[in-house]
């Protein structure tokens, strides 16, 4: 069996059309169609129904799809293992991470890692949450830094290395009448207009879950996919931004406090995961351990956004919650 035909079959399913699959594989459409035809003839099964320009999986094709993916994954694993045995500490490491993680952690960590492995080229790919794990499952990355529960990783057959967890923080104008301590209960935040990340972010889901558990209905003023947009609005006095501790806030004049529920910090699990079907080279395993150590030091040294205890001096201005008037 020609593994190129299997790869063509899987790619057509994932891309949805012959033209997109041909572009993805870098081959002509007639050649791609021949691959599919040859595979159908070899298997004695019809894999697709042709509807217009689209190819739709038949029932038989759907049943064979996962086995084809598994075969391709095993083939990729065999090739990688042979390459790793030949190259030792030389190679390429592909890592998926969110834009925020790349900006705040990996941008500086990679210099440290290069001192240990100067002959390893690290390729970063932007991906968030489920997309990062999907790329890992398809073999497009070797490692994925993701905010996700360990149970989900175990269910999907991924190995993982726990990184220091993130915390949910509230960022507000210094004159905002939020608690003047290092932490505030989540119930206090519902008194203020809130600036939240888009619902696709795990940190936002954590905040929503805590509000639901506490029976609270937050006053959402604005949602964004860009953390720095929320920080800019908070600095201008438009509301309280809710963000994970990995986001850099030092460029803004803000007061930062931890968010608690029943006096316990709201923490977000962070891991770096890999596909157990693929053999990790030593430099990939060390990447995980060194990253966890580096992030731990960042937190200890205050390089991540951590709240500082404020004094009790009464502010000159006041942020008025919920009334629609100017906030400062």
**What single-letter DSSP state applies at residue 102?**
I
Q: What angle do CA 92, 282, 106 make, to 5 degrees?
A: 55
Task: Classify 91 as helix, strand or coil.
Answer: strand
For residue 50, name the pLDDT band (cuts at 50, 70, 90). Answer: confident
Sorted by where each starts, the structural domains of the chain and their CATH numbers stand as: 3-85 (1.10.10.10), 90-164+268-300 (3.40.190.10), 165-267 (3.40.190.290)
At 60-108, the pLDDT tens digits run 888 888 888 888 777 777 777 666 556 557 788 999 998 888 988 999 9
Checking if the pLDDT of 200 tops 60, the result is yes
CB 287 within 8 A of CB 113: yes
pLDDT of amino acid 12: 85
pLDDT of amino acid 128: 78
The residue ranking higher by pLDDT, 301 or 238, is: 238
CB 235 within 8 A of CB 253: yes
At 244-270, the pLDDT tens digits run 988 888 889 999 999 999 989 998 888
pLDDT of amino acid 288: 92
CA 217, CA 214: separation in Å to the nearest integer? 9
Beta strands 183-185; 91-97: pairing state? unpaired
φ, ψ for residue 256, nearest 5 deg: -115, 130
């Amino acid at each position: 069996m020609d593994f190129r035909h299997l790869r063509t079959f899987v790619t057509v399913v994932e891309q949805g059309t012959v033209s997109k699959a041909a572009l993805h594989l870098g081959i002509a459409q007639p050649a791609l169609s021949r691959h599919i035809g040859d595979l159908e003839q070899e298997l004695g099964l019809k894999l697709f129904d042709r509807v217009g320009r689209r190819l739709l999986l038949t029932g038989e094709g759907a049943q064979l799809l996962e086995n084809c993916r598994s075969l391709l994954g095993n083939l990729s694993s065999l090739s990688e293992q042979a390459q790793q045995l030949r190259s030792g500490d030389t190679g390429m490491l592909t890592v998926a991470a969110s834009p925020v993680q790349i900006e705040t952690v990996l941008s500086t960590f990679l210099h440290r890692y290069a001192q240990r492995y100067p002959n390893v080229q690290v390729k970063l790919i932007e991906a968030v949450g489920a997309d990062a794990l999907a790329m890992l499952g398809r073999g497009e990355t070797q490692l994925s830094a993701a905010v996700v529960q360990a149970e989900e990783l175990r269910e999907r057959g991924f190995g993982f290395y726990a990184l220091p967890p993130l915390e949910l923080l509230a960022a507000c104008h210094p004159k905002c009448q939020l608690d003047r301590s290092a932490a505030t209960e989540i119930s206090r935040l519902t008194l203020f207009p809130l600036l939240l990340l888009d619902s696709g972010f795990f940190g936002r889901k954590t905040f929503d879950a805590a509000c639901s558990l506490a029976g609270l209905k937050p006053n959402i003023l604005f949602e964004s996919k860009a953390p720095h947009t929320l920080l800019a609005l908070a600095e201008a006095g438009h509301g309280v931004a809710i963000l994970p501790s990995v986001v850099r806030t030092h460029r803004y004049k803000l007061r930062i406090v931890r968010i608690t529920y029943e006096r316990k910090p709201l923490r977000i699990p962070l891991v770096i995961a890999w596909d157990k079907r693929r053999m990790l080279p030593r430099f990939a395993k060390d990447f995980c351990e060194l990253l966890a150590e580096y992030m731990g030091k960042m937190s200890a040294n205050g390089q991540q956004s951590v709240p500082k205890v404020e004094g009790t001096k009464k502010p000159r201005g006041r942020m008025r919650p919920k009334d629609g008037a100017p906030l400062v």
